[in-house]
Chains A and B, each alone.
Chain A
Amino acid sequence: MAKHSISVTVNGVVRTAEVESRLLLVHLLREVFRLTGTHIGCDTSHCGACTVLLDGEPVKSCTVLAAQVDGSQIATIEGLEQGGKLHPVQQGFTEKHGLQCGYCTPGMIMTSVALLERNRNPSEQEIREAISGNLCRCTGYVNIVKAVQHAAAAMA
């Protein structure tokens, strides 16, 4: 079957690849571009560990084809830190102990970054709804919510 030449901007850098049609976006990121911060959890589009931003919107990269993102902008966890400085959401997760094992964390952070881009002062309910596609088995979500609130305050 034919391969596709794709060009995609990842964390501000244009990257190209020759991909099979069936290559998943999460595999493009992890295996081809070696950006392993994006995790594979359930592989059945439930857990959200694979969440990245596609043209600014948080999506489950295990359920998107690499071929579908030709010409798009992708943001992954690796792109958040700028010049040695953590993104406010990353800082919030640090300050408020928003992670334990860390497996859900990159996905949780990317969803939260997108939330705060759209809604700079979300209520607790709005935060919980926004992250409802990201499952965490460790924290019980309480400190994740606090982390996002901390970030919102810092970004105000």
Chain B
Amino acid sequence: MIPAAFDYQRAASLDEAIALLSRFGSDAKILAGGMSLLPMLKLRLAAFSCLIDISRLRSLEYVKEEDGMLKIGGATREALLERSELVRTRYPILLDTARVIADPLVRNRATVGGNLAHADPANDHPATMLALGASVVARGPNGDRSIAIREFFKGVFSSALAADEVLTEIRIPAPPPKSGGAYLKLERKVGDFAAAAVAVQITLGSDGRIARAGIGLTNAGVTPVDAAEAAQFLIGRTPDARTLAEAASMAATKSDPSADRRGSVEYKRAMARVLTSRALERALQRAQAH
């Protein structure tokens, strides 16, 4: 399949990318890994007059801990995230997530920033970022601004980024001691979108009760779903079987999936409950191990 014709510019710098976006407006689109964008263009589900390639900007590829946060450059390849020792040891929920994004070949090109900026509720990182309480940095002609991930997803393929902004960095607060998270995805085969997937991040207090919790659902609505009520329910409670089961049920009520070949609405919602339950257990294990 052949995309409709477009202009292509490889941005030599972030400033140049922003200048090009300012010039072309919403007719232009940032191209990073292209693993979501190019298939859409080939299917002619979208068309842009200009693609601005930022994938060669090394300055946007990094994974580092600084100022009490994990900072990930917007153009960081998923494969780099997967291979990061820092991520494996300190943020294993991100490794859980990266490992189930598409397949290893796609992950050699796909970027973390793109996975968020594309604003597809079926992508995997959004739910994890919701659970982690992350934020993103958007740079435009007037400089940088920080957008909380809860404010970022507006609709299907629609984010809070302005037409002249680039998502340059993802920021995740460094977890306190006794924190743990997990991302579990049910898929028909490697590379599929989720039938259901859940991200959970919790922190235990010194009294053993849950001090902080975040739960995100993938492919369960027109935007990534923040199961905030379920997370709020957990706070101050002892993580016993009944509490966790209740939270899992509450999270599942926020699941509003479409029926398709991956399952009926009832099936997907039921699986959201099961996966929340399992992710809570795994997150708890990891939290208690610290």
Residues of A near any B CB (own CB < 8 A): 1-2, 4, 20-22, 24, 43-46, 48, 51, 54, 57-60, 62-65, 67-68, 70, 111, 129-130, 132-134
- Alpha-carbon gap, A58 to B107, bound state (A): 10
Nearest first, the 9 A-B pairs at minimum CB distance are: A133-B103, A21-B8, A133-B105, A132-B190, A57-B108, A22-B3, A67-B8, A1-B5, A63-B38
B39: interface (CB < 8 Å)? yes
- Alpha-carbon gap, A74 to B191, bound state (A): 24
Contacts of A57 in B (CB 8 A): 79, 108
Contacts of B105 in A (CB 8 A): 48, 51, 58-60, 111, 133-134
B25: interface (CB < 8 Å)? no
B35: interface (CB < 8 Å)? yes
Cross-chain contact of B51 among A21, A58, A132 (Cβ < 8 A): A21
Residues of B near any A CB (own CB < 8 A): 1-8, 10, 31, 34-35, 38-39, 41-43, 51, 53, 55, 79, 102-106, 108-109, 190-191
> Contacts A20-B5, A22-B6 hold; do A63 and B191 have CB atoms under 8 A apart?
no
> Contacts A2-B7, A133-B102 hold; do A45 and B108 have CB atoms under 8 A apart?
no
> CB distance B10 to A67 under 8 Å?
yes
Interface of A is mostly: mixed
- Alpha-carbon gap, A45 to B108, bound state (A): 13
Residue of A nearest to B55 (CB): A68
> CB distance A59 to B108 under 8 Å?
yes
* Pairs A–B under 8 Å by Cβ, sample size 17: A1-B7, A2-B7, A22-B3, A22-B4, A45-B38, A58-B105, A58-B108, A60-B105, A60-B109, A63-B34, A64-B38, A65-B38, A68-B31, A68-B53, A133-B102, A133-B103, A133-B104
Extra pairs beyond A62-B42, A68-B55 (20, CB < 8 Å): A4-B8, A22-B2, A22-B5, A22-B8, A45-B39, A45-B106, A46-B191, A51-B105, A58-B105, A59-B109, A60-B105, A60-B106, A63-B39, A64-B38, A65-B51, A68-B34, A68-B53, A129-B104, A132-B104, A134-B105
Contacts of B8 in A (CB 8 A): 4, 21-22, 65, 67
Q: How far is the CB of A29 from chain B (nearest CB, A)?
A: 15
> Contacts A46-B191, A63-B34 hold; do A133 and B6 have CB atoms under 8 A apart?
no
